[in-house]
Amino acid sequence: MSHLAQLLLAFKEARAAEDATISVLCTDNVPGNGDAIAEAVAAYLEERDAGSDAVDWVQSHVVFHNSMVDRITSHREGDPDVPSTEPLPAKALVFEDIDGVLPASLAEQPGVLIRRFPGEIDEDHELKLCIANGIHTASVYALALSGLADTKAFREGAEFSGILTQYVDSVFLYDILPALRAKLSSSEEEIREVYEDWRARLRHPHFGLGSFFITQNSTIKLQVRLWPTISRTLRSGQMPSSFMAFAVAAMLRFLMSEGASRVSKTKMVGRVCVPVRTHSEAMYAGKRYNLAQGWYEFEDGDGATSAALPDLGPISHHQACPSVKQLCASIAMVLDKLEPKMEGPRYTLFIRRVAETLQKILRGASPMEVLAEVVDEDLDAVIPRSREAGAGKLADIIQEEARRVTVIDVHTHLFPPEFGELCLYNVDELLTYHYLVAEFFESSDGIAPADFYALPKQEQADLVWKAIFIERPPVSEAARGVLTLLRRLGLGAAMNSRDLGPVRAWFADQDPIRHAERTFQLAGVKYVVMTNIPFDAKECPKWDARIPFNRDMFKTALRVDPMLMNDWSTVSTAVQEAGFEATVEGCIEYLRHWADIYVPEYLMASTPHNFDYPVTKNAPDVPDLVGEVLVPFARERSLPLFFKVGAVRALNPDYRMAGDGIEVADLGFVTYMCKTNPDLKFFVTVLSRDNQHELTVLGNKFRNLHVYGCWWYCNNPSIIADTTKLRLELLGPNFTAQHSDCRVLEQLLYKWDHSRVILAKAMIEQVEDVAKTGWPFTRRDLRHLAHRIMGGGAYEDFMAKKL
Ligand code: FIX
Ligand code: ZN
């Protein structure tokens, strides 16, 4: 501190800050760090220069900003000198600047936030302590005891990643979120954002800290990271969850020493539950651990916590395991010391839960086994209705399940990155999505569609950006979508600066295959179904070249619109060009040829305007392509027919792709098809809201009909909400609630993000009403519901159904 004080004095003497203010920015991790430094500097100056004006000068010329730093960088595997990289946290650096002396440009830096109001930064600290740090502290003792030496155990694909993630999600949902919701002025959304940011880091492939390293200073960490949540929960009259009881039990088990092998008064030796044969001795913060031999040195602070707990020595003989009562007494000794002090029946019950969990571990169950049990019990526990107080009510759980379920997307226009230019991604493609282009024509300052389309893509994108996002407030669903997805990609700061340059540069940097994988993962999409068109001149060569791609991510669909339209001229030309005869049999051969290449999920078409079937007006020499080709072929290959009903193509031809309209369709043909082909399966979605009711009833009348998706002009929150509620009421969990129709890869992010929220709302309304009857819904039921209507459960069920 003396150096800083001397430096400031030097500035004073050099008159360096006559008209300016000096900002001292701390990058340590202590709350109130600016205030503490200000005090220390003042104390130093007073002592050194008593009577001088130095203290006054510092007070009037220097601002010591309180700050919060959140950047934990571990090192590259095998090379301690190279820092590992992870995505920038949303709040990497937060500075308090009540007087507004910091330059505005600082806040434009990615990850930097400026807090201008007193108390704001305290909320940032509280959020970080209770969420990020709290989650770490709730996890690492169980990890260390399980021989998992670092938090890489959370990464996708790691052995316990699934269960650990469910665990921390639950600690957040049941304990941390409600406690913070009651205490802070931040909105629930803000609190959730902090958690999601942290969760993504914890699971990120380049993130991971030593579990033992994080176990340090355990008693203090229990006090500052978990106890605020536990005590607030108890004070609000609620019970901490069984997950929180597990967190405390695991920590206390870690702090139980082998007794005899105490290294010093405060340094002790503990024993892991699951040794790791391949491990060699390692160090953390001046202490050693050896997972092969199963021991670790640790300190709990002053030794008092461990002293309150039974020694591990005698417990190794199973009979000697302390009773729950004995454990309760020990645990109470530890928890009674924490502030604020707790008492009362709920506190006693919480201690009992911790003791029971601890006893299971002491009796030989591994922490991961015990955790699996906790997760399982939670899945089968009856969930309280939302009108009842506390966390983990129906609404919370449904939102959570809808947020986390991995979805399948049954109809898109996406292509795998291996298909080159057909795989659309990046901000220019996003801005020239036809939904936005149509909005642009509504708002544009006179540019004719033909002139617009004549421009290069980037210029089109610039015009759309300017018209929809800069010159007018972006409020439509399609515009909101762009903003959502840019933020989800971590481009929020660039986007808010309204400059497309950095955004374009970011996209240009992406490796398409990695970018696609990451986008699927971020959007929580398991697979998408493409739209594969044998009549398409751009797509055919990709298939002719047999380009390999990831079929687990991209499934195929054989699109046959010209056949459905009975467009004999297009069909016969294509069939002949492919080397088959222009006959009914030739058409079927043609479909066989493409089906063998694609291996499609279904045959699909968008029914033309005024479509009707059976058709009466065909020319006598033209075959009935639906009845003679499509239907027999679908039967031969057991392929469902997948229809999209109600688009009026080229309603405004000048708008080109953005010019399709909508009609209220006659669904008579759906009834006819379902009735006359009871052995064939049909999927149907409609474009007009006015057709939704009728279609839902048809879904209720025909066991070979599956209703899916809210398509295009129905893919707006207000319509999705109504439609989904209606479907739940009439069809139960037997429909596929949504498909995205994405054309540009990153749209998966917004279309699914938005849908998850709105589908959850519809489920909540319906399930709450059912729950009023007293039906005991469990979390397993609600997970099942989300899986059926969003995760492909109902779709795959229908596909497998025997007719
Ligand atoms: O027929 C379709 O598959 C439609 O989804 C498209 O034609 C339409 O352009 C679209 O992208 C709607 O979302
Ligand atoms: Zn489509």
Integer Cα distance of 8 and 24 in angstroms: 10
* CB 598 near ligand 1, within 6 Å: no
Nearest ligand by distance to the CA of 413: 2
* CB 412 near ligand 1, within 6 Å: no
pLDDT at 315 over 80: no
Mean pLDDT of the chain: 94
Task: Write out the DSSP string of 48-97.
Answer: HSTTSSHHHHHHHHEEEE-EEE-----EETTEEEEE---PPPTTSEEEE-
Nearest ligand by distance to the CA of 649: 1
Classify each residue of 441-467 as buried b or exposed e, where b means 16 or more C-beta atoms within 10 Å of its C-beta.
beebeeeebeebeeeeeeebbbbbbbb
Residue 555's SS3 state is strand
pLDDT of residue 782: 98
Query: In this structure, what are the phi and psi dihedrals at residue 341, rounded to the nearest 5 degrees?
Result: -75, 145
Q: Take atom 8 of ligand 1 and give the residue whose Cα is closest.
A: 712
Q: Take atom 12 of ligand 1 and give the residue whose Cα is closest.
A: 712
Q: How many CB atoms lie within 10 A of CB 645?
A: 23
Per mean pLDDT, which of 183-192, 429-438, 490-499 is the most reliable?
429-438
pLDDT of residue 52: 83
pLDDT of residue 569: 94
Integer Cα distance of 601 and 362 in angstroms: 51
pLDDT at 316 over 70: no
- Which ligand 1 atom lies nearest to the CA of residue 647? 1
Residue of 13 and 367 predicted with greater confidence = 367
Instruction: Name the band, by pLDDT with cuts 50, 70 and 90, for residue 479.
Output: very high
Nearest ligand by distance to the CA of 747: 1
- Which ligand 1 atom lies nearest to the CA of residue 606? 1
- Which ligand 1 atom lies nearest to the CA of residue 715? 13
The pTM assigned to this predicted structure is 0.92
For range 105-120, the mean pLDDT: 90
Integer Cα distance of 642 and 685 in angstroms: 8
**What does the pLDDT look like over 164-174, one tens digit per residue?**
999 999 999 99
- Which ligand 1 atom lies nearest to the CA of residue 644? 1
pLDDT at 486 over 70: yes
**Surface-to-core class of residue 281, CB atoms within 10 Å of its CB (0-12 exposed, 13-18 middle, 19+ buried):** exposed
pLDDT at 407 over 70: yes
Tokens of 49: 């220069």
Q: Which of 278-292, 301-315, 766-780 has the lowest mean pLDDT?
A: 301-315
Enumerate domains of the chain plus CATH numbers: 1-115 (3.40.50.720), 120-381 (1.10.1040.10), 408-422+524-800 (3.20.20.140)
For range 229-234, the mean pLDDT: 98
Q: Take atom 1 of ligand 1 and give the residue whose Cα is closest.
A: 606
Largest CA distance in the chain: 111
- Mutate which of 531, 712, 743 for ligand 1 pocket (most atoms within 8 A of beta carbon): 712
What residues contact residue 90 under an 8 Å CB cut-off, 6+ apart? 111, 193, 194, 197
* CB 712 near ligand 1, within 6 Å: yes
pLDDT at 14 over 90: no
**What does the pLDDT look like over 177-186, one tens digit per residue?**
999 999 999 9
Q: Which of 381-390, 409-418, 481-490, 626-635 has the lowest mean pLDDT?
A: 381-390
pLDDT of residue 355: 98
pLDDT of residue 562: 96
Instruction: Name the band, by pLDDT with cuts 50, 70 and 90, for residue 296.
Output: very high
pLDDT of residue 542: 96
pLDDT at 23 over 70: yes
Pairing mode of beta strands 682-686, 641-645:
parallel
**What does the pLDDT look like over 318-330, one tens digit per residue?**
567 999 999 999 9
* CB 724 near ligand 1, within 6 Å: no
Contact 669, 611 (CB under 8 A): yes
Nearest of 293, 300, 287 to residue 271 by alpha carbon: 293
pLDDT of residue 79: 78
Integer Cα distance of 7 and 16 in angstroms: 11
* CB 213 near ligand 1, within 6 Å: no
pLDDT at 256 over 90: yes
CA of 658 to the centre of ligand 1 (A): 10
**What does the pLDDT look like over 443-477, one tens digit per residue?**
877 799 999 999 999 999 999 999 999 999 999 99
The percent helix, strand, coil of the chain (3-state, each to 5) is: 55, 10, 35
**What does the pLDDT look like over 505-562, one tens digit per residue?**
999 999 999 999 999 999 999 999 999 999 999 999 999 999 999 999 999 999 999 9
**What does the pLDDT look like over 722-742, one tens digit per residue?**
999 999 999 999 999 999 999
CA of 490 to the centre of ligand 2 (A): 28
Q: Take atom 6 of ligand 1 and give the residue whose Cα is closest.
A: 741
* CB 685 near ligand 1, within 6 Å: no
- Which ligand 1 atom lies nearest to the CA of residue 657? 9
* CB 606 near ligand 1, within 6 Å: yes
Specify the DSSP class assigned to residue 302.
Answer: S
For range 347-354, the mean pLDDT: 98
CA of 588 to the centre of ligand 1 (A): 26
pLDDT of residue 135: 98
pLDDT of residue 16: 65
> Which residues are 706's β-sheet partners?
683
What are the C-alpha distances in Å from 296 to residues 215, 269, 280, 740?
Answer: 11, 5, 12, 51
Tokens of 288: 């050693």
For range 278-306, the mean pLDDT: 92
CA of 462 to the centre of ligand 1 (A): 24
What residues contact residue 489 under an 8 Å CB cut-off, 6+ apart? 506, 522, 746, 749
pLDDT of residue 318: 58
Q: Take atom 9 of ligand 1 and give the residue whose Cα is closest.
A: 657
pLDDT of residue 456: 98
**What does the pLDDT look like over 194-231, one tens digit per residue?**
999 999 999 988 888 899 999 999 999 999 999 999 99
CA of 412 to the centre of ligand 2 (A): 6
Nearest of 370, 377, 372 to residue 355 by alpha carbon: 370
* CB 681 near ligand 1, within 6 Å: no
In SS3 terms, 232-278 reads as HHHHCCCCCCHHHHHHHHHHHHHCCCCCCCCCCCCEEEEECCCCCCC
Contact 199, 111 (CB under 8 A): no
* CB 644 near ligand 1, within 6 Å: yes
The amino acid at residue 204 is H
Q: Take atom 5 of ligand 1 and give the residue whose Cα is closest.
A: 741
pLDDT of residue 75: 73
- Which ligand 1 atom lies nearest to the CA of residue 741? 13
Tokens of 158: 């790691």
Tokens of 529: 């179904």
pLDDT at 262 over 90: no
Nearest ligand by distance to the CA of 650: 1
CA of 569 to the centre of ligand 1 (A): 23
- Give me the percent of the chain exceeding a pLDDT of 70: 98
Beta strands, E only, 419-488: none
* CB 477 near ligand 1, within 6 Å: no
**Surface-to-core class of residue 383, CB atoms within 10 Å of its CB (0-12 exposed, 13-18 middle, 19+ buried):** buried
- Which ligand 1 atom lies nearest to the CA of residue 711? 13
Nearest ligand by distance to the CA of 716: 1
CA of 553 to the centre of ligand 1 (A): 20
CA of 712 to the centre of ligand 1 (A): 7
* CB 747 near ligand 1, within 6 Å: no
> Which residues are 76's β-sheet partners?
79
610: left (phi over 0), alpha (psi -120 to 50) or beta: left
